[in-house]
Amino acid sequence: MLDVVLCFHIHQPYRLCNVTFFNRNAELFDDALNRAVLEKVSRHCYTPASDLLLELSACYGADFQCAFSITGTAVEQLKMWNPEALDRLRRLVATESVELMGETYYHSLFSLFDREEFIGQVNLHTEMTNREFSELPHVFRNTELLYDDAVSDYLSCFDQFRVLLCEDAAVDEASAATPCMSYNGLHFLLFRDHTLSDDIAFRFRGSGNYDPSLTPKLFASELSKRGGMLHGGDNPVALLYVDFETLGEHYSEKSGIFTFFKDLAEIILNSAQMRFGRPSDCLKRRVKQMRKVSVQKPVSWADSGKNLSAWLSSDLQKNAMDTLLELWAELKCRGDERILKMARRLSSSDHFHYMYPWDRGADAEVHRCFSPYDSPVDAYMRYMAALAALELRLS
């Protein structure tokens, strides 16, 4: 039987003001813009999409399963500007249907650069999930599903994490539906099915109804094919992982996205070949011994390259990251918690995502779509001015 693991991600960064260089007292973060984005996304997605999942949970109980990863910065903004939407998420997590996953609090790239800070941000996120949702996560997803062997090594100091999620680019296509072990034998690895996930996230279309090419019935048929990939008594897994904003924000309610998800869930729930499962539940259903997989170069779910290029391929991105890391060492030594908090907000991967060149084909369109700025250069200049303002505050 195929385990369909449905995962949603919720994240909101702190977008930047147009800071004047050498203004040590400048306000770095554009609260008006951040609030407007948060309220719009809550209205279009967080509230109605949560209601949909609460309805499915009430109707089907524990037979309907899904998982969420929610960054600390998203929770902060929900608490400030839409506590009602946060309460809905709390109600969801309190049901039998939802598992909450761990990650870095600030959605940072520090697993690539600073083991101590990476672990610190994971600790902050774990504390947040316990405080806000009364949950201790047992599944971990790194920022943008970034994974290599070092991530498993770094997480070895956390007893609770047993399962790590990563992109299916880490393995060959034939192995993607089969959970594996990390190279050191410390963690179970589940691989996101990027084809089926991206069918929903990027290729769903429709106006008033869903695209005939992506009906729930046809999508369920593609899912069921995953169920025929393995034999010998073990259960394959189809990990579907999308931004929660896919429901209602990236695709409006008029597109049919809510109806699509509801109908798809009912097909799976009434199927004899498929069932929903949370990431941690899949381990209980394994029969065969899992092979170990070594991932020596980082993979991610971003762009066509499935690597680090979304954040670290251009000169602007590299220079911004180098400057952050140079300043970071001094900030840590000073130990000013207020300034450290601002610097951690600046460590969110989004800031580097906005600097990606807009002339690089289809990938660039995604970056352009998500950027709140006029250009990658505008994103870079705002970011560097914010770092300069932080540095001045140390003097």
Are 262 and 317 in the same domain?
no
Are 80 and 228 in the same domain?
yes
The count of structural domains within the chain is 2
User: Residue 344 has what pLDDT?
Assistant: 97
Contact status, residue 86 vs residue 74, Cβ threshold 8 Å: no
User: Residue 232 has what pLDDT?
Assistant: 43
Which CATH number does the domain housing residue 141 bear? 3.20.110.20
Are 286 and 322 in the same domain?
no
Are 18 and 148 in the same domain?
yes
Are 260 and 323 in the same domain?
no
User: Is residue 203 in a domain?
Assistant: yes
Question: Which of 267, 293, 319 finishes a domain?
Answer: 293
Contact residues for 243 (Cβ-Cβ < 8 A; gap 6+) = 8, 9, 10, 11, 201, 250
User: Residue 234 has what pLDDT?
Assistant: 67
- pLDDT by residue for the chain (395 residues), tens digit each? 899 999 999 999 999 999 888 778 889 999 999 999 999 999 999 999 999 999 999 999 999 999 999 999 999 999 999 999 999 999 999 999 999 999 999 999 999 999 999 999 999 999 999 999 999 999 999 999 999 999 999 999 999 999 999 999 999 877 888 889 999 999 999 999 999 999 999 888 654 454 567 899 999 999 988 766 554 446 789 999 999 999 999 999 999 999 999 999 999 999 999 999 999 987 776 656 788 999 999 999 999 999 999 999 999 999 999 999 999 988 888 878 999 999 999 999 999 999 999 999 989 999 999 999 999 999 999 999 999 999 998 88
Domain that holds residue 365: 309-394
Are 62 and 193 in the same domain?
yes
Are 123 and 209 in the same domain?
yes
Are 287 and 357 in the same domain?
no
User: Residue 208 has what pLDDT?
Assistant: 47
User: Is residue 298 in a domain?
Assistant: no
Contact status, residue 85 vs residue 103, Cβ threshold 8 Å: no
Are 385 and 237 in the same domain?
no
Contact residues for 342 (Cβ-Cβ < 8 A; gap 6+) = 28, 29, 390
User: Is residue 177 in a domain?
Assistant: yes
pLDDT tens, position by position, 10-49: 999 999 999 888 778 889 999 999 999 999 999 999 999 9
User: Is residue 324 in a domain?
Assistant: yes
Are 269 and 315 in the same domain?
no
Are 103 and 216 in the same domain?
yes
This prediction's pTM: 0.95
Are 242 and 332 in the same domain?
no
